[in-house]
Amino acid sequence: MKTILIKGSGDVTERQEFLDFITEKSKKDYVVVICGGGSKINKALKEGGYSVQFDDSGRRITKTQEEKTIARNILEKERNILQDKFYTKNVFVLSPILYAGAVICHINGDDLVKAYELGFDEIFIFTKEKRIEKKKLIFKNNPKVTIIGV
């Protein structure tokens, strides 16, 4: 049995191609899915009156506890939605959130993939077609990673 890591950008996790891929892989291998939610987080922050800012590497900056809570709630909801779809399968879904004690530490899903890379036999990144080239640059030094556009 292989270990498979699949990261889905929040914009594609409801796409049938993504769901079918996970189902197929889970028939014979252990699958861990990292859910995204960046676009939904940005929208919720804007609706909450927060400005959405990014650092030099393109990572969102969440300054206040309220912003972190908004992001956490969206990511946990996305995780729960996906986990419910695969509750009878050999699939574990997680959100890109780390905790240092009670401190919420969001980690970009792509960075979390890199952190977990050594533990997995195969890694797949699902993203929108228009983001494929950007993802290829992000993972250019990660030969296990396969980018799939939907």
- Reply yes or no on whether the pLDDT at 107 is more than 90: no
Are 4 and 120 contacting, i.e. CB atoms less than 8 angstroms apart?
yes
* Structure confidence by residue, pLDDT tens digits, 18-28: 999 999 999 99
Query: What mean pLDDT do residues 37-54 have?
Result: 85
| CATH 3.90.1640.30 at 3-36+75-149, yes or no | no
Res 65: pLDDT: 86
With cut-offs at 50, 70 and 90, classify the pLDDT of residue 77.
very high
Q: What is the DSSP letter of 107?
A: -
Q: What does pTM read for this prediction?
A: 0.90
Domain boundaries, the chain: 3-36+75-149
CA–CA gap between residue 143 and residue 48 (Å, rounded): 40
With cut-offs at 50, 70 and 90, classify the pLDDT of residue 87.
confident
Are 60 and 41 contacting, i.e. CB atoms less than 8 angstroms apart?
yes
- Reply yes or no on whether the pLDDT at 50 is more than 90: no
Res 75: pLDDT: 93
Per DSSP, the residues of 1-31 read --EEEEEE-TTTTTSHHHHHHHHHHHTTSEE
Per the structure block, which two tokens stand in for 55? 């650092």
